[in-house]
Structure 1
């Protein structure tokens, strides 16, 4: 501190003193500078995060996948990998080496009708519906063919054969789409699956919005009790996968097929295959963001508790007859929405009991969510008092293009609906 006397003499009784206090200027300047630096760093991190989110692979609203939880190459196969070893130098030799392993599954090609109706263009190739003649020629069986057609390479053939063996490893379950056989001795390769002719659950829910009582012999009036009935079957399929140290990874109405007696069959097992065969989810595999649990949005290891979260979304889909989740939230903003600990509001058609089940599935901490068996028990209890008379009603019909935009999925992914729309 420096003191300077201004216009003072020894005879003055009052003198003005000016004090130069440099710290009064320097310290606030330093604090303001630190604040501006921190603000700049925060803005930079925010902008970088937004750019990374916008540049993530896949369609709008579809995000890359994290690794799976607690799985490695050996543990994923649980005693043996179904990933076909790639030691051959040609497609022909690769097919010959796997013929013996798949001998019990081979279906003679002459048993399949030459008339193929393409119903979808899947990630592994075209999907057709056709007839299979196994006994009485007058009563052919309708089946679905997943095809791998020419031209193709060793890697594609290896992957296709691995998927066939994955279905063989899974075995049969009432609530999973069943493998009927395969044709893999030469190209084109076929995976023969059972045909669930009523189509996917999402399309069924949309049809329930129409003013119809029956169509093709199937009731299109859905009650709360029937919602629990379908949900219980999905849980049985998930428990079956869990017992084999697997999880589904994309539980949604679009990945469930429905029969005329409301038997539900879980399909879309591509991610489960990837985990089983490789012990991890590949970076190229993507799932619509609005069905993902927070830990998967944050790219943390995936597990069965993520399926529990998605089951809550499935209940919402069913009770709203196929409404897209989080309709007011853009797909790319869903993580920020959930980070504020927000969840979807109770739909007007949803009872407090069912909403309580949904909220238990949507707990941020995955360890706080119920296990599949706990959830199954709660669904069983809720079914006993559920309304079996009042029909769920939503007056608005669905525009698929608008639904796809709000849900953050591709319109093409909605095409796996057979004939009910």
Structure 2
């Protein structure tokens, strides 16, 4: 190249053209060569990695034969390993793992020997009223036993234990039904809860319609101020659930227990447990539509403001002594009724102050409804001037089958004296 350039003059165009031809050929050739070398290196590394991965998989999939155990044949040893795996996924294994975590709640079975009566027979087992002995006759007390049948499978046992642990997580609150203990070391499993012998609020309201003054120490008269008294206690329970980042989901008179001094205790926490444990409501659970907030009817996420809506329905139940809500609306048409922004009319026995509280609970947008605490403060302010003399009266007696049809619930779901989960 140098020789050719020396033989050319600056004005000779042929030399310049020949030099440019060399550059056009050499540079692309070098680039193609580098590309082929890099491609070859990449393919080599890829093939090498694939072979190494296959070798590793082959080693993991092939285990050396274990040495024979003393006194055991190969067959017996293999059968022993299988039994160990089944044990960890069996009911017995689950109870062994879970029971130590519930050690503080365990109640000796012999302390629950005196079963007084069977209250109900549910899908998981029977519910009994029993006497629990503590070694001191003066401290013996009546309790309610929720039993899980002995033939329960692993999934049912897990669910039952989960409900006990959920109660343990809830802790103590004076307006929630309390867990007294459990028996989980073997089947049948028992959940021991406090007994509120006077029963549910709905049955109490229905009895208030009768010409009965007192029965079993409970005064069957209800005034406007007493309605506020019961409502305040329910709101305190809802505040507590809100602090636990929970909501009830089924606030209704049938899910409230009442004592002789009109102390109210919220129960029926099964839906709250399902949302807490699984993050969603079981598709098999049946919920009365007429107590649900619009967002629940529209299958939107539920929350504590939905309980506030249901609390307004509870006030209606109390002031009407247990009348079903929306008596003129079929249960299947309740969503369309609410979408037209309609609400229940003021009952004749309801004051304007109480009706204003109801209407604040029934605002369509959940963000515009008061929180349980805000509602309780409003309720306390109204209660100071409420009538505590005039007794609420409704002359008509309740026919359970008719009530169930109007309320949109089954007759079997009506209160049977105690409602738990």
TM-score by length of 2: 0.77
Q: Tell me what 1:357 maps to.
A: 357
Superposition pairs for residues 7-156 of structure 1, below 5 Å?
88-137=88-137, 140-156=140-156
Aligned equivalent of 1:414: 414
The 1:397–1:154 alpha-carbon spacing in structure 2 relative to 1, beyond 3 Å, is same
Matches of 1:349 and 1:305 in 2, distance apart? 26
* C-alpha distance in structure 2 between counterparts of 1:369 and 1:193, whole Å: 33
- Between 1:304-313 and 1:138-147, the stretch displaced more is 138-147
In the alignment, is residue 224 of structure 1 matched against residue 227 of structure 2? no
Report the Cα distance in structure 1 between the residues aligned to 2:386 and 2:323, rounded to whole angstroms: 21
Determine the C-alpha separation between the residues in 2 that align with 1:299 and 1:415.
Answer: 27
1:251 equivalenced with 2:220 (yes/no): no
Q: Which runs of 5+ in 1 are unaligned?
A: 1-85
* Shift in Å, 1:212: 1.3
Which position in structure 1 is the counterpart of 2:392? Answer: 392
Q: Does 1:179 align with 2:179?
A: yes
CA drift of 1:137 comes to 3.0
Q: Are the equivalent residues in 2 in contact too, given 1:119–1:415 (CA < 8 A)?
A: no
Deviations 1:235-264 (A, max 9, x none): 000000000000000000000000000000
Structure with greater helix percent: 2
Choose 132-141 or 283-292, whichever is displaced more. Answer: 132-141
> CA deviation digits over 1:135-160, x for unaligned, max 9?
33366311001110121110000000
User: What is the SS of the residue equivalent to 2:354?
Assistant: helix
Deviation at 1:275, TM superposition (A): 1.2
Report if aligned partners of 1:112, 1:130 keep a CA contact under 8 Å in 2.
yes
| Deviation, structure 1 residue 116 | 4.7
The reply on whether 1:335 has 2:328 as its aligned counterpart is: no
Q: Pick 1 or 2: higher relative contact order, CA cutoff 8 A, min separation 6.
A: 1
Distance 1:116 1:95 in 2: 28
Q: Distance in 1 between matches of 2:364 and 2:248?
A: 20
Report the Cα offset of residue 282 of structure 1: 2.3
Q: State the 1:383 CA deviation.
A: 0.7
Residues 120 and 415 in structure 1, CA contact (< 8 A), matched pair in contact too: no
Deviations 1:68-113 (A, max 9, x none): xxxxxxxxxxxxxxxxxx9932111111111110010000000012
Instruction: State the alpha-carbon separation in 2 of the partners of residues 239 and 123 from structure 1.
Output: 31
Unpaired segments ≥5 residues, structure 2: 1-85
Equivalences for residues 177-216 of structure 1 within 5 A: 177-216=177-216
Offset, 1:123: 4.8
* TM-score, normalised via structure 1 length: 0.77
> Would you say the 8 A contact 2:131–2:140 is kept in 1?
yes
Question: What is aligned with 1:313?
Answer: 313
- Aligned pairs, number: 333
Larger radius of gyration: 2
Give the equivalent residue in structure 1 for 2:276.
276
